[in-house]
Amino acid sequence: MTTINRATTLDVEGEVAVLTLDNPPVNALSHVLREGVAAGLEAAVADPAVKAIVLICAGRTFIAGADIKEFGKPIAAPTLQDLQDRIEASGKPVVAALHGTSLGGGLELALACHYRIASPSAKVGLPEIKLGIIPGAGGTQRLPRMVGLPRALDMILTGTPMGAASAVTLGIVDELAAGDLRSEAVRLAAAIVSDGRPLRRVRDETARLGDADVEAALSAARERHGRKMRGFESFEKAMEAVANAARMPFDEGLAREREIFAELLGGTQSRAQRYVFGATRAVAKIADIPVDTPTRPIGRVGIIGAGTMGGGIAMNFLSAGIPMTIVEQSQEALDRGTGIIARNYAASASKGRIRPEDVDKATGLLSPSLEFSDLSDCDLIIEAAFEEMEVKKAIFERLDAIARDGAILASNTSYLDIDAIAAVTRRPADVLGMHFFSPANIMKLLEVVRGRQTAKDVIATAMKIGRDIGKTAVLVGVCHGFVGNRMLSARQREANKLILEGAMPWDVDRVLTGFGLPMGPFQMADLAGLDLGWNRETSKGETIRERLCEADRRGQKTAAGFYDYDEARKGSPSPLVEEIILQKSREDGFERRAIGDDEILERLVYPMINEGAKILDEGIAQRASDIDVVWINGYGWPVYRGGPMFYADTIGPHTVLEKMREFEARMGEDFAPAPLLERIVRDGGSFTGAA
């Protein structure tokens, strides 16, 4: 075995040279790896005893892409394209042996090889669009030549990897390895030589593109993926690049691909999306809790409350194969809850998201009960009862009496003080918050709320179980509303003021959806129900919301709220609501004025950023990027804007500060700048250090 460099070794087996790449953790195509591949190929091509070459990776995966950490820096030779040129120019067949995830530049390198063999569990994909870029090493030109425009568009526009078996069916991979990948790859390479099989160069092929109807393929792709990709600059650019495969010769298409790649890479959206990639991985790291902190085993989970929230939370554990006990106070409530779970699963199964046998497996793990004491064998118990402190305290007192020693006691509260809840137990170290977001079986975010006395292994366990059930778990501290809802409250306060001062709910919502959020505050209120926490007896028409509830406009469920709704639940502006708002404005003494879209956006978003700055200063969030992960995963903040704190950095914290000061002078203390915002501007710093 010859060592080429610290990431590459060369081994000759009979007539086949095996070039093994080893650049942990994911064999990203960093400079050292590119150098190793170039030198290894050169040595193998020069060796007269070698008739064929296998490219294979050590560790958990074949190359998972270009090295994201090298983006934005000048690219040192050899480039990935240099490697592809060498392979395509080689008179000796080069076989890529794929396992794990061959992604982005990794798959692009493999597509330049003459043949590909894969382990049955391997996945291949071009996920660049998730980083706000397009494939930059020929992926947009070679893939359509292999699979035709429609398939290539689907893969590149979604970035979703496909399994090896499908890749074989489509012709992206030539063979599945029946046994050991390395020996199978060597066998294939030797057979190519002995059979005199042709050296396939995908770049030269046109058969799949010859009579492609480019416009039809593009409009079908726009139809399929356009809605989800609204606002992403990379979307149209990716379509253009792929279409070029059918419109231009290979080299021209490649050159244009490189231009688009470079243009997107330098843009704010890709910076934001790459930042989010890192931010999503950083949330797992906790300053004072090492990653190897032992966690408590969780064999059975209990939930108190089978309402919408409790039922949704339960589904996460059931789907992950964890047995559950769900407790309610009355048979009726219990039946309603288990009924909702069954219906949700049936809906997922009918959409093909889960196999019917897996539904049976999941629901078979559920034990509904009316007995609180049935929770006594649970290792984690999550309370999802009514959002009122006295209710929570009473439940935790009872839990303390029956839960086994070492069980973790969690509250799903959205706002309340975890320390006050923990204080009613004799084991505050075992108590914490696990705040799920509605609908809890779908939304990715989980705020893990650390109480003053929560034990470190309890936090480590909650973070781990969150990941095990597919959530993005973010650690937050105790305060009213934690990270997400506390910032949301600042936005809602301004939204409510704006409609009294001169805007209409649909103006406010239009500005926020235009910014990229899936819905605005009033659409969100209608969806959640305006009567949450509303009481007809005590309602005095003091807010617009109360007046709407009094008029039986309680949101989507009554087909009327801030908007009027048709049978398809499509909302339209309501003249009646306009009248209610104008009336309330008059009563409160507002002289209504035209409010521009810029002011609406600034009034909604800057106070959120300001609140985020306070949250950071108070240590409620560990880092600015954790706040951004909360907003992206819990509230649909557009990933191409990186989250509110990243957004603040892109427009400049001074821009936010100046506006906050101007608003404060005009409208008072709601806009008092956070001390951290002032310090950052004074010191010329930023929240995230990434924008």
Angle at 406 between CA 403 and CA 410, to 5 degrees: 65
What is the radius of gyration, based on Cα positions, of the chain?
29
Alpha-carbon distance of 611 to 628, in angstroms, equals: 13
Q: Are 463 and 473 in contact (CB under 8 A)?
A: yes
User: Can you name the residues that pair with 573 across neighbouring β-strands?
Assistant: 563
CB atoms within 10 A of CB 662: 12
Q: Which is nearer to ligand 3HC, 143 or 544 (CB)?
A: 143
Q: Which is nearer to ligand 3HC, 67 or 526 (CB)?
A: 67
Alpha-carbon distance of 366 to 344, in angstroms, equals: 14
Q: Which is nearer to ligand 3HC, 146 or 189 (CB)?
A: 146
H helices of 414-532, in order, are: 418-422, 456-468, 484-501, 505-515, 521-528
CB of 169 to ligand 3HC, least distance (A): 22
Q: Which residues of 283-298 are buried (b: 16+ CB within 10 A; e: fewer)?
A: beebeebeeeeeebeb
Q: Which is nearer to ligand 3HC, 234 or 338 (CB)?
A: 234
Q: Which two tokens stand for residue 115?
A: 């043949």
Establish if 35 lies at the interface with ligand 3HC (CB under 6 A).
no
Q: Are 34 and 74 in contact (CB under 8 A)?
A: no
Site for ligand 3HC in 67-106 (CB under 6 A): 67-69, 80, 101, 103-105
Site for ligand 3HC in 544-583 (CB under 6 A): none
CB atoms within 10 A of CB 340: 18
- 108, 447, 509, 611: residue in contact with ligand 3HC (rule CB under 6 A): 108
Residues binding ligand 3HC: number (CB under 6 A): 23
> Which one of 64-72, 421-429, 463-471, 567-575 is the stretch in contact with ligand 3HC (CB under 6 A)?
64-72
Q: Which is nearer to ligand 3HC, 67 or 447 (CB)?
A: 67
Q: Which is nearer to ligand 3HC, 94 or 129 (CB)?
A: 129
CB of 525 to ligand 3HC, least distance (A): 36
Q: Which two tokens stand for residue 323?
A: 């047995």
All residues at 6 or more sequence positions from 24 whose CB lies less than 8 Å from its CB, including other chains: 59
CB of 80 to ligand 3HC, least distance (A): 6
CB of 154 to ligand 3HC, least distance (A): 17
CB of 201 to ligand 3HC, least distance (A): 19
Alpha-carbon distance of 301 to 461, in angstroms, equals: 13
Task: State the catalytic residues.
Answer: 108, 128
List the x/- string, 6-25, binding to ligand 3HC by CB under 6 A: -------------------x
> Which one of 65-73, 198-206, 549-557, 663-671 is the stretch in contact with ligand 3HC (CB under 6 A)?
65-73
CB of 540 to ligand 3HC, least distance (A): 53
Would you call 115 helix, strand, or coil by DSSP?
strand
Q: Which is nearer to ligand 3HC, 128 or 599 (CB)?
A: 128
CB of 225 to ligand 3HC, least distance (A): 18
Q: Which is nearer to ligand 3HC, 468 or 550 (CB)?
A: 468
Q: What is the greatest pairwise CA distance in the chain?
A: 93
* DSSP, residue by residue, 77-109: SSPHHHHHHHHHH-SS-EEEEE-SEEETHHHHH
Angle at 177 between CA 173 and CA 179, to 5 degrees: 170
Establish if 64 lies at the interface with ligand 3HC (CB under 6 A).
yes
Site for ligand 3HC in 214-243 (CB under 6 A): none
All residues at 6 or more sequence positions from 690 whose CB lies less than 8 Å from its CB, including other chains: 271, 275, 278, 625, 642, 646, 649
CB of 508 to ligand 3HC, least distance (A): 36
List the x/- string, 120-139, binding to ligand 3HC by CB under 6 A: -------xx--x---xxx-x
List the x/- string, 257-296, binding to ligand 3HC by CB under 6 A: ------------------------x---------------
List the x/- string, 135-174, binding to ligand 3HC by CB under 6 A: xxx-x-----------------------------------
Closest CA to 626 of 646, 608, 610: 646
List the x/- string, 438-467, binding to ligand 3HC by CB under 6 A: ------------------------------
- 7, 66, 581, 677: residue in contact with ligand 3HC (rule CB under 6 A): 66
Q: Which is nearer to ligand 3HC, 632 or 656 (CB)?
A: 632
Q: Are 530 and 561 in contact (CB under 8 A)?
A: yes
What are the backbone dihedrals phi and psi of residue 304, each rounded to the nearest 5 degrees, phi first?
-105, 115
Q: Which is nearer to ligand 3HC, 261 or 671 (CB)?
A: 261
CB of 96 to ligand 3HC, least distance (A): 15
Residue with tokens 């600059």: 233
Alpha-carbon distance of 148 to 153, in angstroms, equals: 9
Positions in the binding site for ligand 3HC (CB under 6 A)? 25-26, 28, 64-69, 80, 101, 103-105, 108, 127-128, 131, 135-137, 139, 281
